Structure 1
């Protein structure tokens, strides 16, 4: 599915969808991280926002 510029936030606030560029932009800004670190975190702990937050916090 292509990136719809009219969509500015995540479709589901509990999960991160790395297949949607607008979600990657939203989550990297929200979590104060880079797209690369976001992708690494999702690969490590899954798509749950809470688990990704915990993972990223442990790396600081």
Structure 2
């Protein structure tokens, strides 16, 4: 699913789009993880940012 760049508020900020390079780069920096670790988390719990944070912090 493509990212609607005109929709920058919630829920867009609450989701991690692994298909958008700039989002992957931003989230890996924000969360302090590699792209592979981010992908693992998204695969495990979905693209909800809070769920990904919880998964990475367990």
Q: Same fold (TM over 0.5)?
A: yes
Q: How many residues align?
A: 49
SS state at 1:13 partner: helix
- Which residue of structure 2 aligns with residue 45 of structure 1? 45
Structure 1: any 5+ residue segments left out of the alignment? 1-6
C-alpha deviations, 1:5-31, integer Å up to 9, x for none? xx8xxx521000000000000000000
Structure 2: any 5+ residue segments left out of the alignment? none
* Pairwise CA RMSD: 1.3
Q: How far 1:36 moved relative to its partner?
A: 0.2
Counterpart-to-counterpart distance in 2, 1:33 and 1:20: 17
| Superposition pairs of residues 19-30 of structure 1, within 5 angstroms | 19-30=19-30
Moved over 6 A (4+): none
